[in-house]
Amino acid sequence: MAFQKTPVVVRAHAYGQPFWSQYRRMVKDIGRESVYLLWDVTNAPIPQNVIDEDAGYIIPITEHACRAINSLHTIGYDTCESMMVIIADALNLRVPAWEHVWLIEYDVVCCGHWGRTLLVANNSPEHKDMDLMGRYFEQWRPRVHWMWGRLVGDIAKAAKTPSEWKIFIPVMRMSRRSIEGALKHNLGKASGYVESYFSTILVHYGYTVANLPDAMIGRYFAHPAIPINDWRSWEQQDAGKDVVCHPVKLT
């Protein structure tokens, strides 16, 4: 069971056949017991076909529940931090031995085999023990295509540029100890846009943060604000390779 200690959670909010096909392939590649759906039911219930096929592997969330966890959730795109707490609490009951968790957005595609791709990081001596991994990890600075740099609460006072960091996380792996430690310790004390908040607060408390290995990242892995002529060209460029691409518009 290669993913017994590193389960995978896919963040979803709507049913679409391309996404569903990708998710089903993930379940096949990684193993049913290690793949979960994080489903936002704030505006709509979970589709019955999802319940029928994935009962026992769904972690429901709402924006209200996330804000109840951290009262400082008052700015846009503000629920991911609390989602990690909800995920951790769910995994503590279902996968007691977990050490790290993958969180993958619905618009990420693996061009080859999901299991082999994620194991590149899990098995790498340089990466396997990291507390947080994403892409483009660096000190934050204002620039055209990166608007998400706002922190609030205690961490905003403690981490001033150049101490503020950012990381791009459509594919992210985070450690149990960092969620139980840095995130839960600061509930009600700090928050912010997660690209800055996760990386900054973990660095601030001495946790380890790094980029995902280049070997698992496809040619197209960027934020939608960065113009690329053809989002679908990953199909030709990386088809069959054990790499992830983003964004791929699935719904």
Q: What is the pLDDT of residues 82-95, one digit of tens each?
A: 899 999 999 999 99
Most confident range, picked from 92-101, 158-167, 213-222? 92-101
% the chain with pLDDT above 90: 48
Mean pLDDT of the chain: 84
Q: Which two tokens stand for residue 88?
A: 């951790």
Closest CA to 154 of 190, 208, 182: 190
pLDDT at residue 118 is higher than 90 = yes
Is pLDDT larger for residue 206 or for residue 190? 206
pLDDT at residue 199 is higher than 80 = yes
Is pLDDT larger for residue 57 or for residue 240? 57
Mean pLDDT over 149-177 rounds to 78
Helices 17-30 and 114-122 cross at an angle (nearest 10°) of 60
pLDDT at residue 80 is higher than 90 = no
Domains of the chain, first to last: 8-129+169-184+214-246 (3.90.550)
pLDDT (tens digit, 9 = 90+) per residue, 2-13?
Answer: 899 999 999 987
Which residues in 234-246 are b (16+ Cβ under 10 Å) and which e? beeebeebbbbbb
**Residues in a beta bridge with 210:** 133
Distance of CA 212 to the CA centre of its chain: 12
pLDDT of residue 236: 59
What is the C-alpha separation between 103 and 169, in angstroms, rounded? 8
pLDDT of residue 160: 53
pLDDT of residue 42: 87
pLDDT of residue 134: 96
pLDDT at residue 229 is higher than 60 = no
pLDDT at residue 239 is higher than 80 = no
Q: How confident is the model at residue 69 (pLDDT cuts 50, 70, 90)?
A: confident
Q: How confident is the model at residue 223 (pLDDT cuts 50, 70, 90)?
A: low
3-state SS assignment for residue 229: coil
- The torsion region of residue 136 among left (phi > 0), alpha (psi -120 to 50) and beta comes to left
pLDDT at residue 198 is higher than 70 = yes
Q: How confident is the model at residue 144 (pLDDT cuts 50, 70, 90)?
A: very low
| Beta pairing class for 190-192 and 109-110 | unpaired
Q: How confident is the model at residue 190 (pLDDT cuts 50, 70, 90)?
A: confident
What is the C-alpha separation between 34 and 13, in angstroms, rounded? 20
Mean pLDDT over 93-112 rounds to 93
pLDDT of residue 71: 80
Query: Angle 205-196-234 (CA atoms, 0-180°, nearest 5)?
Result: 125
pLDDT of residue 79: 61
Q: Amino acid identity of 165? A: W
% the chain with pLDDT above 70: 80
pLDDT of residue 232: 55
